[in-house]
């Protein structure tokens, strides 16, 4: 009973592949799997004391009703006409879920192989209605008469002996001699008595020997040996066998019986010794001997490959053919160990040698297929046995049921149960237990409890297996309260818990972390007299260690070791780790000693366990000792040791260990090198690992192992070292190391990220050719995305096509990747076709799919169709997501469409989509580029109100905005806000600030900021250097500019031609034409070839310095070099002569150009027209313009001399032709023409020329505007004449608006002049002089240079009341003046009559207000002189009064000690500064 309960419990736990799925106790996991492999034979071979205790503990005998053939085959109506002691001859010991209970009838058959032959030698024995082939010897009639009632005599004597009380003796029955017995009868008495009490059986045997009532024979000896063997009394059996007389003992039956004794406990060595002893004594083994030998070998240990075939061949070598029992023994052993490969080999050998399988063979094969999870084959065998004429029995059905229950096939289990019912088989305990366990594994605990109740309702008594299954399932589900209740029900039902029951409950408590309950259960098990097994000890030891109770853990460990149980490696690791944390060095030494002596572990294994237990010092010493003793390095152990060292960061100690191994194990250099590389990879020391690998590869030390390549590749992929990964993978394949599926997938992703999708695609195909299945959709997605980035959508399309051929349903991610691949090339129609395909066939499109469609339109530049597509998608029921709207907004933002962006932004907010930080960045960046100051400031305020703080990119956009519009004060404020927010400026921040300083003509501060930028580790952009050089050049700070330029050259920066041109312009403006020449040589040395534009700059430099002859030499050199010249170099020379006043030479050069085959173009026209506009006398202007007329261009002179209406259309046609030309041809020509017309008082003509320029977009349409609350003008980049024309027209428009009262003006009116010069003319000074002469209310802006601002009210009053504004209409003079009405004076294009007054006022008074300037300019010279002197004298008197007041205040402050800083500048100093 005890054995049955134990083994059935084993079967339950064997069915459970993972009793503790959580990480609560890995010991429980490994231990249960180990216990599940133990067969009931091993359980039955425990010590006699254990068996006795267990028998006493189980008073209720387990019986299996289907032991009877009439029950097993209810449809055959068989009669039971054989004694109850007989057993079927073919047994499958391990069928289905509960391996031992299935064959509770026949489980002793293999153990009785020895005695079966003895019984069959005397009497005919009927088995399943068939007569045995063994025949009895002929006897006399008297013997035959006695033989007819031998069963009654044996039974009579057996009953009397078993009915004796404990104090009575067998001799009292035997001496009575109420029945006459033969020696054979006494053999059966010994056997039948031994079935109930081996002690009484031995007493009968000893009494018979003492009385000498029979001559000792082999049969009697074999019988008593068999009885003692069944009772696990090996020592008594050995003693009886040893003292047996040679005549009786030297027979095959006795040897077989004794081998059976040893076979029961799996003592294969003893069985082998007996077999050799038989042969040495001349007793040849028979088939039973070999079957017993095979049985002993199978019980002695696990099956090794080809063991079954080797054992069969050994039988054949002895001249004996294996029979069905031999094969069934081997197949049953394979079934117990779930060794399908060996079972199939034995079965095939059986068929090949024409040994027909019987029902038990089929049962065993069905069992092994079921255990290995191949239910299809189990079903096939079931059909095959029916086709062979065998009738399935209960074992067959339960084995088949187990096969499908194991894989959780509920429907098939139900079908088998229905078929069993049709065949007359009801659900028995085994069936219920199997199904209960199936549902328990599926977590359907309600169904489990329902089956449990059904089982009780069906008069099926739950046994220990049932309760164990329930407790095990509930424990795994962490339902420990319910599990405890089941244990209580088990005890109330009178079913004794088995070892497995207690173990399941302890495991459940351990998983739940309930240490106290686990300890109580363990102690209860001990009190019940059940000795813990390996699992129970391991679980309790693990839970104690997890709670760091090392004291109790060590006591339990010692008890475990004393009972011959050894912890596994994982448990030793946990134990050592806990002991190390508590610094229990003595216990560590003891554990290490136990591992070495009790577990027979070698030094390397112990070292690995020590390292995993974080006992590094002990591990290193152990490994050194092992190597010193000549042990070879084990690869896996060394890798484990170094891996643990690497993960714990103890690299120096690991290297010391490797150095020691390198010295003492010279034959393992390759392994040591590989181990070092793997350890460095695990320690994230990838650079060192790659260096070691490269050195080893270059020196040809080794080709490397898979583990090493895997470690290197995985680390390279994690650190995005794709080039290195590619090289290592190539080496791996070159050396013939086969990659795994994971490595193939990793390298596919790597090559995709590197931009080599073709290589990645090839790897996929190669992996598939090798039978490796790549079923991860993300792998294919990465390749398709890489194809998309390279715009190879055709190849991406082919990859998806191959996927569609392999599987009916392609993953949604793959479809989306293909849509995006099309989108990257702007293939909207193809992307839409894929979208429609997945709409039709599935899987349904996602937001990513929709975004792909929109991206295709965006890339194709079809932004206007976005709204159409969105409407179509909405009609199809799709909701447009926030990401899609963001995609649209970003597209319009990149296109610079502010109107659409603002519309989408407002629509988002109206739809309830709250803006994100990214959206704010996009909006502010776009509006900043569009210089929409108010909009930017409004969004920043909205953003802060929403709880978002502007980040650095947003501040950078605002810096660029204010820098772009020249509001440098706000730029500085933004930078201050960046610092207050604790943000660290980046490159954009510094570059923008430096640009701001350059534009504000403060390059020294920009240079200082650049030095600060470098100190924080940031390198300025080349454009920043260019801006600084340009700013220094404009201020003629040549040393600083040259220092920056030479610094770039010293850094070996690759400067483009623009840097050299910038320096040439600087030298040109400063008149250093010699440096310009040197720069030209340096430019050639740097490998930058000068162009015509370069030579043009050099010539302009000569021309600007008044050396037109040098410019002409450069032109002559260009001609000598045979270059194909345009009008550009000629225009440089001609312009140089014109600026120098050498008009005749300029005209001469014009004629030479024409002779050289070049027709004058816009460049030449512009030079002559500009020179004419600056000529002092009208006659000089006419000469210059006639020179143009002689070359075929008469329009300028006709504008001066004619009054034809056709001139308008001619100028219109001319501007239309000049518009598309490069070098701002139309702009420069119109500017020169406007200067000419204004200078010679043809201002009405200048007005309509100005309007034609606006028409052809040569000038901006909004150059001046008078709109609702937006009066303003921007004359930057215009010539002085054009600006004066535009200014007059603007004033006229504002005057009309002031008189009409509409449109309304803003509070202030801004006029932008800029600070740049155009052809050495300052627009800012020119316009100020013009407005100051008129006494206008415009004043310079205090915060920004290049701006004039007037209060709107003052401006309107001035326009209405001022005499200067009475007639603002532009008119042509009736005749040309004799001289130019304008004069260029120190960069100011000013009215010639105003020049003396302008000089007098500005030189003596400096900057004065416009009205004061106008009054002084209108005064005669003498009166103006008196007024200026009086003004200066009044200023001096005022200054003296201020000095006296400041002196008094200063003395008071000193006395009161209130001075806190530097003294204010003296008024006199301020005045002198102002005056200067």
ω before 775 within 30° of 0 (cis)? no
Across the range 245-258, mean pLDDT stands at 76
Interacting residues of 1326 by C-beta distance below 8 A, sequence separation 6+: 1280, 1283, 1284, 1388, 1389, 1390
Q: How many beta carbons lie within 10 A of that of residue 1217, not counting itself? A: 12
pLDDT given for residue 234 in this prediction: 84
Show Cβ contacts of residue 521 under 8 Å, excluding neighbours closer than 6 positions.
502, 505, 506, 509
For range 1386-1401, the mean pLDDT? 88
Instruction: State the pLDDT at residue 44.
Output: 31
Burial class of residue 604 (count of CB atoms within 10 Å of its CB; 0-12, 13-18, 19+):
buried
Least confident residue range of 73-77, 422-426, 1406-1410: 73-77
pLDDT of residue 422: 83
Query: What pLDDT band is residue 1210 in, cutting at 50, 70 and 90?
Result: very high
CB 1062 within 8 A of CB 1095: no
CA dihedral (1299, 1303, 1309, 1311) positive or negative:
negative
1068 and 1039 in contact (C-beta within 8 Å)?
no
Label residues 450-461 b or e (16+ Cβ within 10 Å = b): ebbeebeeeebe
Residue 1472, token pair as written in the block: 């002198």
Tokens 């190597």, residue?
627
Q: CA geometry: angle at 981 spanning 975 and 984, to 5°?
A: 70
Which of 367-371, 1002-1006, 1370-1374 shows the lowest per-residue confidence on average (mean pLDDT)? 367-371
> Helices marked H in 1191-1224 — which ranges?
1195-1201, 1206-1218
Q: Would you say the C-alpha torsion 1393, 1395, 1399, 1402 has a positive or negative sign?
A: positive
Rounded Cα gap, residues 922 and 904, in angstroms: 12
Most confident of 910-924, 933-947, 1101-1115: 933-947
User: Is residue 332 over pLDDT 60?
Assistant: yes
- Please give the average per-residue pLDDT across 366-395, as a whole number: 86
Q: In angstroms, how far is the first alpha carbon of the chain from the final one?
A: 124
Q: Is the pLDDT of residue 130 over 60?
A: no
Q: List Cα–Cα distances, 881 to 811, 813, 816, 851, 878, in angstroms.
A: 22, 18, 16, 9, 9
Omega prior to 165 cis, within 30 of 0: no
Phi, psi of 1391 (to 5 degrees): -60, 130
Alpha helix segments (H runs only) across 148-300? 150-162, 170-174, 183-194, 198-211, 218-230, 234-243, 246-249, 252-264, 268-280, 287-300
H helices of 665-721, in order, are 669-682, 686-698, 706-718
Range of lowest pLDDT (657-661, 737-741, 942-946, 1262-1266): 657-661
At 95 the pLDDT is: 29
> pLDDT higher for 168 or 642?
168
> What pLDDT, on a 0 to 100 scale, did the predictor assign at position 1451?
57
- Whether 1466 has a pLDDT exceeding 60, the answer reads no
pLDDT of 1171 above 90:
yes
pLDDT category at 1354 given cuts 50, 70, 90 is very high
- Asked if 353 and 322 count as a contact pair (C-beta separation under 8 A), the reply is yes
Beta strands in 70-194 (DSSP E): 126-127, 130-131
pLDDT digits (tens, 9 = 90+) for 173-188: 877 777 777 778 888 8
Closest CA to 800 of 791, 790, 812, 789: 812
List, in sequence order, every residue forming a beta bridge with 130; answer none if it has no partner. 127
pLDDT tops 50 at residue 4: no
pLDDT at 146: 52
What is the band of 1180 on the pLDDT scale with cuts at 50, 70, 90?
A: very high
pLDDT in tens, 1057-1070: 888 888 888 887 77
Residue of higher predicted confidence among 1280 and 1466: 1280
Average pLDDT over residues 191-204: 87
- Residue predicted with more confidence, 1174 or 92: 1174
Given a cut of 80, whether residue 626 has pLDDT beyond it is: no
Tell whether the torsion through CA atoms of 814, 816, 817 and 823 is positive or negative.
positive
**Residue-wise pLDDT tens digits, 842-855:** 888 888 888 898 89
pLDDT digits (tens, 9 = 90+) for 289-306: 888 888 887 877 777 888
The 3-state DSSP class for residue 243 equals helix
Quickly state the pLDDT bin for 1272 (edges 50, 70, 90).
very high
Whole-number percent of the chain with pLDDT over 90: 17
Tell me the C-alpha distance between 377 and 389, whole Å.
19
pLDDT confidence band for 1400 (50 / 70 / 90)? confident
For 481-523, give the DSSP string. HHHHHHHHHHHHTTPPP-HHHHHHHHHHHHHHT-HHHHHHHHH
Residues 6 or more apart whose Cβ sits within 8 Å of residue 390:
358, 359, 362
Judge contact between 278 and 284, C-beta under 8 A. Answer: yes
Q: Torsions phi, psi of 155, nearest 5?
A: -65, -40
pLDDT of 1258: 94
pLDDT of residue 1459: 32
The answer to whether residues 671 and 635 touch, using CB atoms and an 8 Å cutoff, is yes
Report long-range pairs for 1006-1015 (Cβ below 8 Å, ≥24 apart): 1006/1031, 1007/1040, 1007/1044, 1013/987
Say how far apart CA 475 and CA 866 lie, in whole Å: 59
Q: Using pLDDT thresholds of 50, 70 and 90, give the confidence band for residue 1380.
A: very high
pLDDT of 215 > 70? The answer is no
pLDDT tier for residue 147 given thresholds of 50, 70 and 90? low
Res. 416: pLDDT tops 70: yes
Q: How far is it, in rounded angstroms, from Cα 1283 to Cα 1259?
A: 11
Please write the tens of the pLDDT for every residue from 26-80.
Answer: 333 333 222 232 223 222 333 333 333 333 333 333 343 434 444 544 544 444 4
pLDDT tens-digit series, residues 930-961: 888 898 999 899 888 888 899 999 999 999 99
Give 581's DSSP letter: H
pLDDT in tens, 789-819: 998 989 888 888 888 888 778 888 888 899 9
Mean pLDDT over residues 273-280, rounded? Answer: 83
Mean pLDDT of 741-766: 89
Of residues 107 and 825, more confidently modeled: 825
3-state secondary structure 623-650: HHHHHHCCCCCCHHHHHHHHHHHHHCCC
Closest CA to 1395 of 1421, 1356, 1434: 1421
pLDDT number for residue 630: 66
pLDDT at 253: 83
Write down the mean pLDDT value for the chain.
Answer: 80
Per-residue pLDDT tens over the stretch 1004-1058: 999 999 999 999 999 999 899 999 999 988 888 888 888 998 888 888 888 888 8
Phi-psi region of 529 (alpha: psi -120 to 50; beta: other; left: phi over 0): left
> What percent of the chain is predicted at pLDDT more than 70?
86
Question: What is the arithmetic mean of pLDDT over 129-146?
Answer: 43
Residue spans of alpha helices (H) in 895-1002: 898-910, 917-929, 933-945, 952-965, 968-980, 987-999
Look at residue 784 and tell me whether its pLDDT is greater than 60.
Answer: yes
Could you give the C-alpha distances from 264 to 4, 115, 748, in angstroms and in order? Answer: 15, 14, 57
Q: Which contacts qualify for 1414-1420: CB closer than 8 Å, 24 or more apart?
A: 1414/1332, 1414/1333, 1414/1334, 1414/1335, 1414/1364, 1415/1335, 1417/1332, 1417/1333
Tell me how crowded residue 676 is: count the other CB atoms within 10 A of its CB. Answer: 24
Average of per-residue pLDDT across 973-999: 91
pLDDT, one tens digit per residue, over 819-829 is 999 999 999 89
| pLDDT (0 to 100) of residue 1161 | 93
């Amino acid at each position: 009973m005890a054995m049955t309960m134990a083994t059935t419990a084993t079967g339950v736990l064997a069915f459970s592949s993972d009793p503790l799925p959580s990480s609560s106790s890995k010991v429980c996991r490994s231990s249960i799997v180990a216990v599940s492999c133990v067969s009931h034979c091993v359980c039955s071979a425990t010590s006699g004391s254990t068996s006795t205790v267990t028998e006493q503990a189980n008073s209720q005998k387990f019986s299996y009703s289907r032991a009877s053939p009439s029950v097993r085959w209810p449809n055959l109506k068989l009669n039971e006409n054989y004694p109850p002691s007989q057993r079927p001859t073919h047994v499958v010991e391990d069928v289905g879920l509960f391996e031992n209970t299935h064959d509770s009838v026949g489980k002793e058959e293999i153990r009785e192989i020895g005695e079966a032959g003895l019984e069959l030698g005397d009497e005919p024995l009927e088995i399943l209605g068939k007569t045995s082939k063994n025949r009895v010897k002929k006897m006399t009639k008297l013997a035959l008469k006695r033989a007819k009632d031998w069963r009654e005599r044996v039974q009579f004597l057996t009953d009397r002996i078993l009915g004796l009380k404990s104090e009575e003796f067998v001799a009292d029955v035997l001496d009575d001699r109420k029945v006459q017995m033969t020696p054979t009868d006494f053999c059966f008495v010994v056997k039948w008595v031994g079935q109930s009490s081996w002690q009484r059986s031995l007493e009968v045997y000893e009494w018979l020997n003492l009385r000498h009532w029979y001559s000792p024979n082999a049969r009697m000896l074999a019988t008593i040996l068999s009885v003692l063997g069944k009772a696990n009394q090996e020592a008594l059996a050995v003693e009886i066998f040893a003292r047996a007389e040679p005549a009786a003992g030297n027979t095959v039956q006795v040897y077989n019986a004794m081998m059976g004794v040893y076979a029961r406990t799996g003592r294969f060595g003893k069985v082998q010794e007996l077999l050799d002893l038989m042969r040495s004594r001349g007793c040849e083994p028979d088939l039973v001997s070999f079957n017993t030998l095979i049985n002993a070998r199978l019980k002695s240990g696990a099956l090794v490959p080809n063991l079954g075939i080797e054992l069969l061949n050994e039988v054949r070598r002895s001249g004996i053919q294996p029979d069905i029992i031999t094969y069934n023994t081997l197949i049953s052993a394979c079934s117990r160990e779930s060794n399908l490969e060996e079972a199939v080999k034995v079965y095939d050998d059986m068929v090949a040698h024409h040994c027909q399988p019987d029902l038990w063979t089929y049962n065993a094969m069905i069992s092994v297929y079921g255990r290995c999870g191949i239910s299809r084959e189990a079903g096939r065998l079931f059909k095959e046995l029916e086709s062979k004429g065998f009738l399935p029995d209960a074992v067959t059905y339960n084995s088949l049921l187990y096969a499908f229950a194991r894989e959780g096939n509920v429907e098939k289990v139900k079908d088998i149960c229905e078929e069993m019912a049709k065949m007359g088989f009801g659900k028995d305990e085994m069936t219920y237990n199997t199904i209960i366990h199936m549902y328990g594994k599926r977590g359907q605990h309600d169904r489990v409890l329902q089956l449990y109740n059904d089982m009780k309702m069906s008069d099926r008594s739950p046994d220990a297996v049932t309760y164990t299954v329930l407790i095990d399932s509930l424990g795994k589900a962490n339902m420990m309260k319910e599990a405890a209740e089941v244990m209580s029900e088990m005890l109330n039902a009178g079913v004794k818990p088995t070892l497995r029951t207690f173990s399941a409950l302890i495991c459940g408590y351990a998983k739940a972390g309930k240490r106290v309950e686990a300890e109580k259960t363990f102690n209860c098990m001990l009190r019940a007299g059940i000795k813990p097994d390996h699992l129970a000890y391991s679980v309790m030891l693990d839970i104690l260690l997890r709670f760091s109770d090392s004291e109790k853990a060590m006591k339990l460990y010692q008890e475990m070791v004393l009972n011959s149980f050894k912890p596994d490696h994982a448990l030793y690791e946990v134990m050592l780790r806990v002991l190390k944390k508590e610094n229990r060095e003595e216990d560590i030494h003891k554990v290490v000693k136990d591992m070495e002596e009790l577990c027979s572990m070698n030094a390397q294994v112990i070292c690995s366990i020590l390292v995993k237990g974080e006992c590094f010092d002990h591990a290193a010493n152990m490994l050194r000792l092992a190597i010193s003793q000549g042990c070879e390095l084990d690869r896996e152990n060394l890798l484990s040791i170094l891996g643990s060292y690497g993960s714990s960061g103890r690299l120096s100690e690991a290297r010391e260990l490797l150095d020691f191994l390198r010295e003492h194990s010279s034959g393992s250099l390759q392994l040591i090198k590989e181990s070092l590389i793997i350890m460095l990879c695990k320690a994230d020391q990838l650079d060192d690992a790659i260096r070691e690998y490269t050195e080893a590869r270059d020196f040809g030390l080794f080709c490397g192992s898979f583990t090493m390549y895997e470690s290197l590749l995985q680390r390279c992929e994690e650190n995005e070292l794709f080039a290195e990964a590619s090289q290592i993978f190539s080496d791996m394949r070159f050396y013939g190391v086969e990659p795994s599926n994971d490595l193939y997938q990793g390298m596919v992703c790597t090559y995709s990220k590197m931009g080599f999708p073709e290589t990645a695609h090839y790897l996929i195909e190669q992996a598939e050719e090798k039978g490796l299945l790549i079923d991860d959709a993300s792998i294919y997605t990465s390749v398709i995305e890489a194809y998309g980035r390279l715009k190879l959508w055709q190849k991406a399309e082919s990859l998806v096509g191959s996927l569609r051929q392999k599987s009916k349903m392609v993953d949604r991610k793959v479809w989306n990747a293909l849509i995006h691949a099309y989108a990257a090339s702007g293939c909207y129609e193809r992307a839409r076709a894929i979208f429609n395909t997945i709409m039709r066939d599935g899987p349904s499109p996602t937001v990513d799919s929709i975004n792909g469609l929109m991206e295709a339109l965006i890339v194709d530049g079809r932004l206007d169709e976005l709204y159409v597509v969105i409407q179509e998608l909405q009609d199809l029921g799709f909701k447009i997501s926030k990401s899609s709207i963001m995609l649209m907004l970003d597209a319009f933002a990149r296109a610079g469409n502010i109107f659409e962006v603002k519309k989408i932004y407002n629509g988002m907010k109206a739809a309830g989509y709250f803006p994100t930080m990214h959206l704010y960045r996009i909006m502010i960046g776009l509006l900043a580029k569009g210089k929409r100051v108010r909009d930017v400031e409004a969004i920043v305020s909205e953003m802060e109100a929403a709880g978002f703080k502007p980040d650095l990119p947003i501040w950078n956009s605002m810096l660029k905005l204010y820098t772009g519009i020249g509001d440098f004060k706000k730029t500085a404020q933004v930078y201050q806000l960046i610092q207050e927010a604790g943000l660290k400026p980046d490159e954009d921040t510094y570059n923008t600030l430096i640009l701001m300083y350059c534009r504000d003509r403060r390059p020294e501060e920009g240079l200082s900021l650049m030095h600060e930028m470098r100190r924080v580790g940031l390198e300025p952009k080349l454009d920043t250097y260019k801006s600084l050089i340009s700013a220094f050049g404009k201020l003629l700070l040549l040393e600083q500019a040259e220092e920056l330029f030479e610094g770039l050259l010293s850094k070996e920066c690759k400067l483009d031609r623009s840097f050299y041109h910038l320096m040439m312009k600087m030298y040109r403006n400063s008149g250093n034409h010699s440096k310009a020449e040197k720069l030209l040589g340096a430019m050639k040395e740097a490998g930058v070839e000068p162009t015509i534009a370069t030579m043009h700059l050099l010539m302009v430099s000569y021309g600007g310095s008044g050396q037109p002859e040098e410019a002409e030499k450069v032109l002559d050199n260009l001609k000598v070099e045979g270059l194909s010249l345009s009008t550009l170099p000629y225009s440089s020379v001609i312009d140089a002569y014109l600026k120098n006043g050498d008009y005749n030479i300029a005209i001469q050069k014009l004629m030479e150009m024409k002779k050289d085959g070049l027709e004058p173009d816009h460049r030449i026209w512009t030079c002559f027209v500009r020179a004419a506009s600056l000529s002092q006398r009208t006659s000089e202007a006419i000469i210059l313009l006639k020179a143009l007329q002689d070359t075929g261009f008469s329009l300028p002179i006709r504008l001066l001399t004619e009054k034809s209406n056709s001139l308008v259309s001619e100028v219109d046609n001319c501007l239309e032709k000049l518009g598309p030309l490069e070098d701002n041809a139309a702009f420069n020509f119109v500017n020169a023409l406007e200067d000419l017309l204004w200078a010679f008082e043809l201002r009405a003509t200048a007005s309509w020329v100005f309007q034609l320029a606006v028409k052809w977009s040569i000038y901006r349409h909004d150059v001046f505007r008078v709109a609702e609350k937006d009066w303003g003008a921007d004359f930057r980049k215009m010539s002085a004449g054009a600006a004066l024309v535009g200014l007059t027209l603007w004033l006229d428009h504002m005057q009309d608006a002031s008189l009409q009262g509409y449109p309304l003006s803003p509070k202030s009116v801004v006029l932008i002049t800029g600070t740049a010069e155009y052809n050495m003319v300052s627009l800012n000074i020119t316009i100020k002089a013009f407005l100051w002469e008129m006494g206008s209310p415009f004043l310079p802006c205090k915060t920004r240079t290049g701006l004039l601002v007037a209060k709107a009210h003052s401006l309107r009053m001035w326009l209405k009341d001022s005499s200067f504004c009475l007639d603002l209409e532009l008119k042509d003079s009736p005749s040309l003046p004799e001289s130019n009405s304008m004069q260029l004076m120190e960069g100011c294009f000013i009215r010639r009559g105003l020049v003396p007054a302008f000089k007098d006022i500005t030189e003596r008074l400096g900057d004065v207000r416009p009205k004061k300037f106008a009054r002084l300019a209108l005064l005669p010279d003498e009166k103006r002189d008196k007024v200026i002197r009086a003004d200066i004298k009044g200023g001096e008197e005022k200054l003296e009064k201020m000095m006296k007041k400041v002196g008094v205040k200063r003395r008071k402050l000193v006395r009161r000690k209130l001075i806190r800083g530097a003294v204010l500048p003296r008024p006199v100093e301020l005045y002198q500064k102002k005056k200067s």
